[in-house]
Amino acid sequence: MKDINELHKQIVGEITEERNKGVAAFLTAKREANTAAHNKHAQAMEHFRAMGVNLSKYEAFHNALAADNANQLKGIKDKYAAEPSALKIIDPELSMERALNAAITPGADRILPPAYAAIFSTKDPADKLSGGTGTDVPNYSFIDAWDWASGAGNGWFGSGAGSYQVWIEFGFWYLPPEYRNYSIIPHNLFRGFYIVRSDDGFWTSKYARVIVDIWTNVWQYNWKGWTQNRVLDVGSDNIDVNNRFDTERHTYNSALLGSGDWAYVRNYVSIYVYARGDGSYAELNFAVGNANYLSCPHAHIY
């Protein structure tokens, strides 16, 4: 049986490398799409200017709408979030020692606390239309995470679009006592809220959307394959929805595991926001105040 510390270092290294590549790919595709949309939009604006359309009045009207929407958003956030200075109520960090003790407890049925947690996001300092962040050094039990996106302009050809992606990772070690198929059920806990706003109309192409997914994979000698579960998907060109998202998900997975060699359960939550056109806005917030967070406190294996 390989040393658990070396295995842990290997797995965390693989996850970090994979996630960094995912962040880079997301940002590259986003920049390419925004550049193409900007060029098409500029061509269209020149066409309308040549036709005698007063673009200054058109832009002033939409700027006024955007300012009004910003005031409304502040009221919505105040409704769902505690004061920013409020202390978050979290349990003490679950140590690697506790996680490994649970992993080697006699018997096949286990309730495993996480042995690893991390957060990755598609941060781009040059992007003024979207953002997000998360816990810098996450508590393995509770993680703060949020992202937001706002739109600009009329949204033609996909222009004026903001988008942001955050991945929240949890990992669990398990030492199978026998060779067989195991049922693996992570317990994901969501406490937060979402905002989706878009008011598409004449001469505009606006849209807003939020998506939350849970992904799970199992490693022993190799990765067994991903299981995906979509838990939230709200979006439209004409929408004004804001609500709390307080739910729990027990997602079923299975894997054939050998006895006496370490296995690793990888569970991550993906939160994605997109908004196009001025006044459009999307936010997922699992962070502000002591009532909002993401958690995967344990995984069941039997």
Nearest to 215 by CA among 24, 22, 33, 30: 22
For position 98, what pLDDT does the model report? Answer: 67
Q: Average pLDDT by consecutive 10-residue portion of the chain (302 residues)?
A: 89 95 94 86 70 66 68 78 56 58 76 92 89 78 91 85 96 95 96 91 85 98 96 95 94 96 97 93 90 91 94
Given this model, what pLDDT does residue 105 score? 77
Determine the pLDDT at residue 94: 47
- The pLDDT value given to residue 134: 78
pLDDT of residue 48: 63
Report pLDDT for 1: 67
